Structure 1
Amino acid sequence: MVTSRARGRWAALLLAGLTPVVAELTLGNPPLRQAWLLLLWTPIYGAGTVLIRELVRRAGRGWPAVLLLGAAYGIVEEGLALQALTSPTLYGVAGWAPRLLGLNSAYTELNIPYHAVFSVALPILLVDLVLPDLRHRPYLGRTGLVVAGAVFVLGAGLLRWTTSFMDPGYQAPPAAVAAFVLAVAVLALLALRLTPRPAGPPAAPPLAVPAPPVVAGLAGVAAFGYLALLFPFGGARHPAFTEGGWVAVPMAAAALLAVAAGMLLRRWTAHGGWRDRHSLALAGGALVAHTAFGVIANGESTADRVSLAVLGLVMAGLLALLARRTR
């Protein structure tokens, strides 16, 4: 018989392995022919998400804390490891939009929320749905927590080392590094000390919860819309095919879309009628739209697009099986 502690370790391994698949592979970055690159990314992605989940569960906090720490994770990866938030050359992202205070503005707006949702929150949500009896408790003991933290730090170092070959000679300015470290510390403090603890459903629900297919559809629209507004695709070099100062329009639209989606989701989840099938619909709609966007934006060849579409169909099938089990 498998002990509770052993099941927790297996759950942590599942979360660690699932995270880079959700965050990168199902977006077509890398394409399936280069899936071996996930081995380089799993230490920072997998250990980072496991570490976030452990800290949130130990602090007795909820999804706001997960999202805040997910944003902090994004700053660590993109600002300190990749240093893509400030690099004037890496990926060509400095040309997406005007740089603000040394930051690649559109890239920053795209990737910090992206990591909070797709690199952290959705993998945690999916594993919670697969293993519902473990969702409210930590997976690991103190030793496991320390190991996850150490692997995360080593993973960030590995990512920094590999990036030095893609962006040789660049080092983020000391002021930017200090600002990123301070931002991570502030987000961690807010997440673990100041966010509200999960509460029961209110006596008077503020808004009826729509059916799961509606939740899936709206989640898909929000995910696809956010990516399409900020990520140049179809030959464009700027978000949403804009030029010059007009790039502020899709950036503002993406921000409004994210805020509106967050407010609506907060009202829905505060309702006593929100169930696991709604959570799965939310995750499924966002993931399917995310992969659909990847087929459009990231496929370098027909073979890449077809293989990503096939991966999307496999993912949809697995989500359908989980939906049957959830019902």
Structure 2
Amino acid sequence: MCFLAPLVGEYLLGNISIQDIWALPFLAPMYGGGALLIRETTRRTGRGWPTIIFLGLAYGLIEAGLIDQSLFNPSFEGHDFQSAAYIPVLGISAYNGLAFLAGHAVWSIGVPIALVETLVPGRSTRPWLGKAGLLITGGLYLLGSVFLFRNIQEEEQFLASAPQLIGAAVVALVLIGIAFALGRRPHPKTGGRTPHSWQVGILSFVISSLFFAASESWMGVAIKLFLLAVITALITRWSRRQGWGPAHRLALAGGALLTYAWGGFILTMLLGRTEIIHFIGNGIFASGAVVLLIIAARRICHIQSENMEL
């Protein structure tokens, strides 16, 4: 998971080229450490996916608002991150703010956790780390965050204002509070038809693709919010039904994963990377994502076959 989180969140997306694969060990402590900490905290407290998602939103806000500060930087890495749906009083782009938070919560945190848990079904809801492992992971996350902060400060020479930093920290704390305020006991299962996992996967792919492709405007913000509301309502309803299980969770993660698989090629072109090596890298990362998804799906099928035999 430590390497899967940055591979999905940055390399598969196309935000970082395969030419910079050397940076993976430096990104893993923050990305992978954050994902593992969120997963362990959630499972240790007996909570589920709503907690993971809200902690993922907090993670995204901490990274974009406090660490690399791309949420506030008007020219982060030479790109205009402010003009689309700009909110003057906050000094941020509503479009990019929503994309950063949802992107990290879903792709940097949720998808890697879902994929890895699928590969170890017998321990999918149990803690993986002891106290020492938890402390080490937390330390690596902090060290990785400090390392990234210092390097970006040297490159960007930008520091958000005190109100912006305080505001981001406060909202992150609120998201963390919501995550832990969610009930530990699962909702009682209800009746009704549960869609097949492949239907859930297609829906996840379509909605995440539309979310990814929404125009950089206030209309794009409205579309993104609408799509998030739709998928949240459907998942909340379906996940409370008797037939909902690991195959459906994998389908949700798989649909989102495949969106980044094609989106990486698009973002590479938008970033002006025209050398063939960049597109070869997109192909390698996309192929790796498909292979991992096939392995996870085969694992699910194997478990289901064993259960049927029993």
TM over 0.5: yes
Q: Tell me the distance in 2 between the aligned counterparts of 1:281 and 1:53.
A: 19
Deviations for 1:13-47, whole angstroms, at most 9, x for unmatched residues?
Answer: xx212111121111122121221122221111011
Deviation at 1:222, TM superposition (A): 1.2
**Structure-1 residue corresponding to 2:237:** 267
Cα pair distance change 1:143/1:264, threshold 3 Å: same
Can you give the 5+ residue segments of structure 2 that lack an aligned partner in the other structure?
Answer: 302-310
Which blocks of at least 5 consecutive residues in structure 1 are unaligned? 1-14, 231-238, 240-246
The answer for the alignment partner of 2:81 in structure 1 is 93
Q: CA deviation at 1:216?
A: 1.3
Q: Comparing 76-85 with 159-168, which one deviates more in the overlay?
A: 159-168
Count of residues in Structure 1 that have an aligned counterpart in Structure 2: 294
Match runs of 1:2-81 below 5 Å: 15-81=1-67
Distance 1:165 1:41 in 2: 17
Partners in 1 of 2:197 and 2:246 — Cα distance? Answer: 10
Q: Does 1:283 align with 2:253?
A: yes
In the TM superposition, what whole-angstrom CA distance separates every residue of 1:233-253 from its partner, at most 9, and x where no partner exists? Answer: xxxxxx1xxxxxxx2111111
Contact 2:46–2:184 under 8 Å retained in 1: yes
Distance 2:25 2:15 in 1: 13
Partner residue of 2:203 out of 218, 228, 233: 218
Q: Is the 8 A contact 1:220 1:290 kept in 2?
A: no
Residue pairs, 1:130-209, within 5 angstroms: 130-168=119-157, 170-192=158-180, 194-199=181-186, 201-202=188-189, 204-205=190-191, 207-209=192-194
1:172 maps to a residue whose letter is: A
Moved more, 159-168 or 123-132: 159-168
1:248 and 2:218 are equivalent in the alignment: yes
Q: Partner of 2:128: helix, strand, or coil?
A: coil
- Runs of 4+ off more than 4 Å: none
Give the TM-score normalised by structure 2: 0.90
1:313 positional shift: 2.4
Instruction: Please give the alpha-carbon distance, in whole angstroms, between the structure 1 residues aligned to 2:154 and 2:95.
Output: 24
Query: What's 1:116 paired with?
Result: 105
CA contact (8 A) 2:3 2:24 kept: no
Please list the CA deviations of residues 180-208 of structure 1 after superposition, one character each: whole Å capped at 9, or x if unmatched: 2212222212212x102252652x32x42
2:265 maps to a residue whose letter is V
Give the letter aligned to residue 265 of structure 1: I
| Backbone CA RMSD of aligned residues | 1.6
Task: Report how far residue 99 of structure 1 moved.
Answer: 3.0
1:8 match: none
Contact 1:99/1:105 (8 A) holds in 2: yes
Give the TM-score taking structure 1 as reference length: 0.85
Deviates more, 1:59-68 or 1:183-192: 183-192
3-state DSSP class of the match of 2:294? helix
Contact 1:201 1:272 in 2 (8 A): no
**Cα distance in 2 between the residues matched to 1:149 and 1:307:** 31
Partner Cα distance (2:69, 2:187) in 1 = 41
